[in-house]
Structure 1
Amino acid sequence: MTTEPTDAPAPPGPGGERQVRRLVVGEGLAATVDALFLVWLTLFVLDLSEPGLATGFVLVAVALPRAALLLPAGVLVDRLGAARVTAVACWLRVAVLLALVAVVTFGSPSLTTVALLAALLGVADAAYFPAALALIPAVVPTGKLSRVNALVQGAESGGDLVGPAVAAGVIAAVGFDATLGGIAALAALAAVALSTLLRAARRGEGTDPGTADPDGADGEELSSPRALGAGLAYAWNEPLVRAMLAAVALINIAVVGPVLVGGAVLAEQRLGGAGSFGIVLSGFGAGSLAGSLLAGWWPPTRRGWTVVGGVAAIGAGMAGLAATTQVAAATAVVGLIGLGSAFLGVVIVATLQERVPSRLLGRVTSLVVLATVAFDPLSYVVAGVLLPYGTTALFLVCGGAVLACAALVAASPAIRSLR
């Protein structure tokens, strides 16, 4: 079993400008749909029932199947091809959204019905997210990977930044059913755009020179459990992949919960009240958008040290929140965290897309997505455990953990030598 990073990048797909535009539009629209639908679902459940466990129940119904099926979905992507899985997942999303439109418009939906349909969307998400990441290098030339990833991630950041206001405003103007119909229409446009890439992606998938299969069964059709094990073994034994996945997971644990939970407490205690919390979070969204675009248009020449610097910037920002007492300062610091996170995300994803053999890319991208979503509950637990000691302790401990991660990443020869 090889333990060295794969230096030869997977060859790009045809890279026609039309295909690249369709990819960016399709995945950008899909990211916008995600942001709008999450706000719609939260507000609809709040309208349907009393605030409390009901909202959490429905959101968990989306999150659980998504997290549980991500790794098997990665195997499916490598088996069937990223373009095919992306298209099927997109159309499944459309079907579920249309079913929800019918239920909301013509019936009196129960909380259980909404939760079941939300769970089906979670299943579609589990297939879509790793497939969409693996689709990009099958269509986009290697030299454009950073820019296309930046555009897609920028659409996601922009959706997170303006999605709540847009969704809430449209719901207030035209109602829940019409708003959901508009979201379903956007999802259909995304599905159409991405479905047109099937032929172009087939020419770019599965053609990398590669090496022997990680479990030594070169050319053998592996069972799904063995294929999943092979992907996990590859990720663990490749120092570059292992270091990047570990950094993503630790940052998610140390940032998401502390910023959301600790940030709300910080706003209440030092920044003038809960209203300032929204302003601070808008700084994160703006920083994320700027970081995505910066990484796409000015990609780093020394990627390894950029990864180290990005992790260190996030750690410094988290620790800096411990000393903030003004809304403007807190917004700027959280903006720095968002910028570093988004910049790092583009660099890491583009690097893995270039260097992981295409026959394993679905499994590796499923691990990337898992590292960014599966540890949210643990992150909230970390915030809950540390908050009784005060927000200063919370942010110092979490910032120190991320800075320690930066030091460990810098100690990795695979990261330091990355160009």
Structure 2
Amino acid sequence: MTRGSTAHSPPHEPLGDPQLRRLVVGQGLAAVVDALFVIWLTLFVLRLSEPGIATGFVLVAVALPRAVLLLPAGVLVDRFDPARVAVAAAWLRVAVLLALGALITFTSPSVTMVALLAALLGTADAAYFPAALALLPAVVPTERLARVNALVQGAESGGDLVGPAVAAGAIAAIGFDATLGGIAVLAALTAIAFSTLVRVVRRRGGAGDDADPDAIDGERQLSSARALGAGLSYAWREPLVRGMLVAIAVINIAVVGPVIVGGAVLADQRLGGAGSLGIVLSGFGAGSVAGSLMAGWRPPTRRGWTVVGGIAAIGAGTAGLAAVTQVVAATAVVTLVGLGSAFLGVVVVATLQERVPRQLLGRVMSLVVLATVAFEPFSYTVAGVLLPYGTTTLFLVCGGAVLACACLVAVSPVVRSLR
């Protein structure tokens, strides 16, 4: 890929090129849309029915196709260029949001109809997430990948932090219909921003300057099943990719459920009531924003040990929750976990984007997303199994598992030598 059009921008100006600005704006808006829509959907379903199985049914309708279709979507990203897949997914999101808006404005929607449209949105998400991650190396110069990833992930963390309050406030002020219309407008702006990048990626060859044209042609001649198998085989054979994926999976299993479920119990038992949980979780959001921006502002020179340190910080923070008895201490510890998670996320994604062959990047990025989202049910199961033994046991066991993962990663010469 020819990157001469961005080479003139100084290194300290990661968004000096308008194409990079459009990329960051598009991905940032997409993250905000996700954060707003999840809250909108939850509150709207609660209005349609009593709290209970209906809410879970609709949220599963979003999550299930997203998880099931992620790996096939990775094949799609590699078979076509990531810009075109990202654009198609972005416009599908717009179409689903508009259809949902028409449904609630002109009819009396049922939970089933809302769930069917939510499932289409989950399908769009399955294509969008790996395409968006694979798109960055097609537009961003290698030396700026960490900084642009930091800005994108910072926007995602910021959306998660303020999204619930903004969505709930907008619904209270202007109602469900108008709020969904605003979300659809943001989604359309996202799609427009991505659409402007298709020609850029096509002009630069789409696959990257390190891609092997023969390898790309060979990949495109494979059946979808064999192409998926080739991607899984590559991820398993490569120690760096395998180690990163295992670390992401372990962190998500051992941290997400225990912090949310165990944190609620901890707040009720030790921190003065359920209201303190919001304060503690806001610390995680603030730490995530700070960690993302820190990783981009001063990218680490010794990435291998940074990965080990990030995993260890997450494990230590999770285990540290076993000892907290005050809201301030719990918030500080959870902020550390959020900071370490976000910092690690930027480093891991940027490292894989730089080192994975472009013709396999979509499939590897789909595995990264899968390791992030598919293990959440297991994480909640782990929390449910350990909670009867007390929150102290829950946090010590889960934190210890992450610390053990840090030790295993540290003994890998491939990771230790990573620069």
Class of the TM-score when normalised by the shorter of the 2 chains: over 0.9
Cross-structure match for 1:54: 54
Q: In structure 2, what residue type is equivalent to 1:120? A: L
SS at match of 1:156: helix
Gaps of 5+ in 2: 7-15
Cross-structure match for 1:27: 27
Would the aligned equivalents of 1:11 and 1:208 in 2 still touch at CA under 8 Å?
Answer: yes
2:151 and 2:209 mapped to 1: Cα distance? 25
Cross-structure match for 1:345: 345
SS at match of 2:321: helix
* C-alpha displacement of 1:331: 0.4
Would the aligned equivalents of 2:137 and 2:208 in 1 still touch at CA under 8 Å?
Answer: no
Inter-CA distance 219–317: structure 2 relative to 1 (3 Å threshold): closer
Cross-structure match for 1:6: none
Give 1:136-175 correspondences, 5 Å limit. Answer: 136-175=136-175
Inter-CA distance 99–218: structure 2 relative to 1 (3 Å threshold): closer
Moved more, 13-22 or 371-380: 13-22
* C-alpha displacement of 1:12: 5.3
1:35 and 1:71 mapped to 2: Cα distance? 23
2:43 and 2:120 mapped to 1: Cα distance? 19
Q: In structure 1, what residue type is equivalent to 2:206? A: E
The yes-or-no answer on 1:230 pairing with 2:205 is no
Q: In structure 1, what residue type is equivalent to 2:77? A: V
Matched positions, count? 409
Q: In structure 2, what residue type is equivalent to 1:249? A: A
Would the aligned equivalents of 2:291 and 2:338 in 1 still touch at CA under 8 Å?
Answer: yes
Cross-structure match for 1:403: 403
Would the aligned equivalents of 1:231 and 1:364 in 2 still touch at CA under 8 Å?
Answer: yes
Moved more, 167-176 or 195-204: 195-204
The yes-or-no answer on 1:205 pairing with 2:190 is no
Inter-CA distance 14–121: structure 2 relative to 1 (3 Å threshold): farther
Cross-structure match for 1:5: none
The ranges of structure 1 where at least 4 consecutive aligned residues each deviate by more than 6 angstroms after the TM superposition are 211-214
* C-alpha displacement of 1:212: 10
TM-score of the superposition, structure 1-length normalised?
A: 0.95
Cross-structure match for 1:118: 118
Inter-CA distance 219–152: structure 2 relative to 1 (3 Å threshold): closer
Would the aligned equivalents of 2:138 and 2:208 in 1 still touch at CA under 8 Å?
Answer: no
* C-alpha displacement of 1:14: 4.4
Would the aligned equivalents of 1:280 and 1:330 in 2 still touch at CA under 8 Å?
Answer: yes
RMSD: 1.6
The yes-or-no answer on 1:317 pairing with 2:317 is yes
* C-alpha displacement of 1:107: 1.1
Q: In structure 1, what residue type is equivalent to 2:229? A: G
For 1:129-163, what per-residue CA distance to the aligned partner results, in whole angstroms no more than 9, with x for missing partners?
00000001100111111111111111110011011
Q: In structure 2, what residue type is equivalent to 1:277? A: L
Cross-structure match for 2:253: 253
Question: What is the percent sequence identity of the aligned residues?
Answer: 79
Would the aligned equivalents of 2:250 and 2:402 in 1 still touch at CA under 8 Å?
Answer: yes
Q: In structure 2, what residue type is equivalent to 1:206? A: A
Cross-structure match for 1:135: 135
2:225 and 2:210 mapped to 1: Cα distance? 24
The yes-or-no answer on 1:83 pairing with 2:72 is no
SS at match of 2:50: coil
* C-alpha displacement of 1:418: 0.3
Gaps of 5+ in 1: 1-9
Q: In structure 2, what residue type is equivalent to 1:152? A: V
2:371 and 2:331 mapped to 1: Cα distance? 26
TM-score of the superposition, structure 2-length normalised?
A: 0.95
Cross-structure match for 2:93: 93
1:109 and 1:20 mapped to 2: Cα distance? 40
* C-alpha displacement of 1:204: 4.7
Q: In structure 1, what residue type is equivalent to 2:135? A: L
Give 1:245-394 correspondences, 5 Å limit. Answer: 245-394=245-394
* C-alpha displacement of 1:207: 3.8
Cross-structure match for 1:45: 45
1:380 and 1:151 mapped to 2: Cα distance? 30
